[in-house]
């Protein structure tokens, strides 16, 4: 990428989240991830070039030195902080504005600093000699939110030991208008992954979980897109039957990608409580479901990192206050304790060498605060699975009904969560739990009588993956 010859016409809108907007290059497998600011105080809160560059470099360092060792080298692409010509960034911002979803327009793209994070475009597979595939790769993005119930003795509300935060948070978001309906997604202890968060084919989004959409119709449309990938060209199957086959084939590939590990004989047993009472999966199904993950598969790595939060925010809060008090008494130690980074190897050491029991020290408190923040990142990252078919057209395939697939698995959105957000998390936790108790507990029994979802279930409204013992 020649930074002095940047042309907005070489880039197009790719997607965005709460904190960043992503554009992809039309020719090369590259994306630029730009910061976003709230429209309300964009003028006041924007960063100078140096501040923005430092912020982005922090993200790169954190990804490289902290998250990569924890989550595994092969899943992480840390990228590079770049400085772009301001003219290019301004033109780009105008160009992408009309593509942006309305729900994200409460924030504006950073056109002040000229800084961005340059990353490989993970919706594309790096060239593979075995593939003579003309179809664009298929890409599925999944956000694996917190996958366990707290086992901390600091938890004061019993409901937190029964219902996962994700399920409780949904009720809160529903009440506050962020979501329009409850989702069946519940990742608690790997029992289920509600499928198909976002599917991208050749850089275009072909399916996205919309909370007010007709899910069945959407899935039928998705199945039409997927047919060429999963059904041989001469197949006579059509309609509902083919949708079912195609979606089940897709699920198989996704499960392989999520569970593939260096050593499939090794599995990890989950620690702590495994069942979320609010999960809309039938209890019998949950009881019969395997709670093991192959060691080192992507879900196992993410779950292990999420579980660094082993005190729960209720146990963490007093330690945060201990750190705050210490910083008031010894403000100069903020830097050596690496409260705001730098995210170096020694930051990782503070996490890994944190004493297991509270010895009253500041080292313990800081270690737990750092662990909590890292766990928060792992609870908010995304997994991107990029799939391409191969071998189908070279005549060597013995079973034409089962084209072979090659895929890559990456983890993205690994930004550090701010130290300052801990008090907010503590207040939010209370609000979520109180709201859940107020709004749902009298009806709790009803949650136990839901229908079973397994694979592609026409009668149900969702498509859910359930991991069975193998």
Ligand X SMILES: O=P(O)(O)O[C@@H]1[C@@H](OP(=O)(O)O)[C@H](OP(=O)(O)O)[C@H](O)[C@H](OP(=O)(O)O)[C@H]1OP(=O)(O)O
What residue 141 binds from ligand X, ligand ATP, none (CB within 5 to 8 A, per partner kind)? Answer: ligand ATP
Contacting residue, 3, 19, 86, 105, with ligand X by CB under 6 A: 19
| C-beta separation of 121 from 24 below 8 A | yes
22 binds ligand ATP (CB under 6 A): yes
18 binds ligand X (CB under 6 A): yes
CA distance 170 to 183: 8
143 binds ligand X (CB under 6 A): yes
16 binds ligand ATP (CB under 6 A): yes
What residue 119 binds from ligand X, ligand ATP, none (CB within 5 to 8 A, per partner kind)? Answer: ligand ATP
Find the binding residues for ligand ATP in span 403-422 (CB under 6 A).
412-413, 415
What residue 417 binds from ligand X, ligand ATP, none (CB within 5 to 8 A, per partner kind)? Answer: ligand X
CA distance 198 to 181: 18
Per the listing, tokens 């992480």 go with: 76
232 binds ligand ATP (CB under 6 A): no
* Position closest to ligand ATP via CB: 17
CA dihedral 286, 289, 290, 296 (to 10 degrees): -70
Minimum CB separation from ligand ATP for residue 413, in Å? 4
373 binds ligand X (CB under 6 A): no
| C-beta separation of 305 from 344 below 8 A | no
- B/e letters for 435-446, b = 16+ CB within 10 Å, e = fewer, are bbbeebeeeeee
CA distance 251 to 273: 26
Minimum CB separation from ligand ATP for residue 351, in Å? 22
What residue 373 binds from ligand ATP, ligand X, none (CB within 5 to 8 A, per partner kind)? Answer: none
Contacting residue, 275, 368, 370, 417, with ligand X by CB under 6 A: 417
Strand partners, 159: none
110 binds ligand X (CB under 6 A): no
- Looking at 14-22, 61-69, 290-298, 384-392, which segment touches ligand X (CB under 6 A)? 14-22
Minimum CB separation from ligand ATP for residue 116, in Å? 12
163-171: Cβ within 8 A, 24+ apart: 163/276, 163/277, 163/278, 163/436, 164/188, 164/276, 164/278, 164/279, 165/429, 165/432, 167/276, 167/278, 167/279, 168/278, 168/432, 168/433, 168/435, 168/436, 169/432, 171/435, 171/436, 171/439, 171/440
Total site size for ligand X, rule CB under 6 A: 9
* Structure tokens belonging to residue 15: 């997607």
| C-beta separation of 84 from 3 below 8 A | yes
Per-residue x/- track, 144-173, ligand X (CB under 6 A): -x-----------------------x----
DSSP code, position 448: G
Contacting residue, 56, 81, 89, 122, with ligand ATP by CB under 6 A: 122
Find the binding residues for ligand X in span 419-458 (CB under 6 A).
none
Find the binding residues for ligand ATP in span 30-69 (CB under 6 A).
31, 33
141 binds ligand ATP (CB under 6 A): yes
353 binds ligand X (CB under 6 A): no
Closest CA to 347 of 368, 327, 372, 370: 370
199 binds ligand ATP (CB under 6 A): no
CA distance 218 to 125: 26
123 binds ligand ATP (CB under 6 A): yes
CA distance 441 to 464: 25
Total site size for ligand ATP, rule CB under 6 A: 21
CA dihedral 96, 97, 103, 105 (to 10 degrees): 120
Chain contacts with ligand X (rule: CB under 6 A): 17-19, 143, 145, 169, 376, 380, 417
Chain contacts with ligand ATP (rule: CB under 6 A): 14-20, 22, 31, 33, 119-123, 141, 380, 382, 412-413, 415
């Amino acid at each position: 990428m020649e930074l002095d010859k940047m042309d907005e016409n070489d880039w197009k809108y790719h997607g965005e989240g709460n904190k960043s907007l992503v554009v992809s290059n039309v020719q090369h497998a590259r994306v630029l991830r730009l910061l976003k600011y709230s429209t309300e105080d964009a003028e006041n809160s924007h960063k100078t070039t140096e501040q923005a560059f430092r912020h982005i470099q922090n993200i790169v360092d954190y990804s490289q030195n902290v998250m990569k060792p924890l989550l595994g080298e092969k899943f992480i692409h840390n990228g590079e902080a770049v400085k772009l010509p301001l003219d290019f960034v301004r033109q780009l911002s105008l160009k992408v504005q009309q593509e942006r979803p309305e729900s994200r327009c409460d924030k504006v793209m950073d056109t002040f600093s000229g800084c961005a994070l340059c990353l490989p475009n993970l919706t594309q597979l790096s060239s593979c000699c075995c593939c003579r595939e003309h179809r664009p790769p298929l890409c599925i993005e999944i956000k694996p939110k917190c996958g366990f119930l707290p086992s901390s003795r600091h938890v004061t509300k019993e409901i937190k030991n029964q219902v996962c935060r994700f399920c409780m948070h949904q009720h809160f978001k529903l009440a506050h208008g962020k979501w329009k309906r409850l989702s069946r997604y519940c990742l608690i202890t790997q029992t289920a992954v509600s499928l198909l968060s976002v599917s991208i084919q050749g850089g275009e989004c072909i399916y996205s979980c919309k909370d007010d959409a007709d899910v069945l119709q959407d899935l039928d449309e998705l199945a039409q897109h997927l047919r060429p990938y999963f059904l041989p060209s001469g197949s006579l199957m059509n309609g509902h039957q083919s949708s079912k086959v195609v979606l089940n084939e897709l699920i198989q590939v996704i499960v392989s990608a999520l569970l593939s590990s260096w050593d499939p004989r090794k599995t990890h047993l989950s620690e702590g409580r495994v069942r979320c009472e609010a999960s809309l999966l039938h209890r019998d199904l949950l009881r019969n479901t395997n709670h093991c993950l192959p060691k080192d598969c992507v879900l196992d790595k993410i779950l292990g990192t999420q579980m660094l939060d082993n005190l729960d925010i209720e146990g963490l809060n007093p330690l945060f206050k201990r750190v705050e008090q210490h910083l008031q008494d010894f403000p100069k130690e903020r830097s050596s304790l690496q409260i705001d980074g730098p995210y170096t190897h020694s930051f990782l050491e503070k996490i890994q060498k944190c004493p297991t029991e509270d010895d009253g020290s500041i080292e313990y408190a800081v270690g737990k605060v750092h662990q909590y923040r890292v766990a928060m990142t792992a609870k908010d990252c995304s997994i991107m699975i990029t799939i391409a078919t191969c071998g189908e057209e070279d005549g060597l395939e013995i079973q034409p009904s089962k084209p072979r697939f090659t895929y890559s698995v990456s983890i993205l959105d690994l930004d550090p969560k701010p130290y300052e957000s801990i008090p907010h998390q503590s207040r939010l936790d209370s609000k979520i739990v109180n709201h859940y108790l107020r709004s749902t507990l009298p009806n709790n029994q009803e949650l136990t009588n839901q229908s079973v979802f397994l694979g592609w279930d026409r009668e149900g409204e969702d498509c859910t993956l359930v991991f069975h013992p193998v």
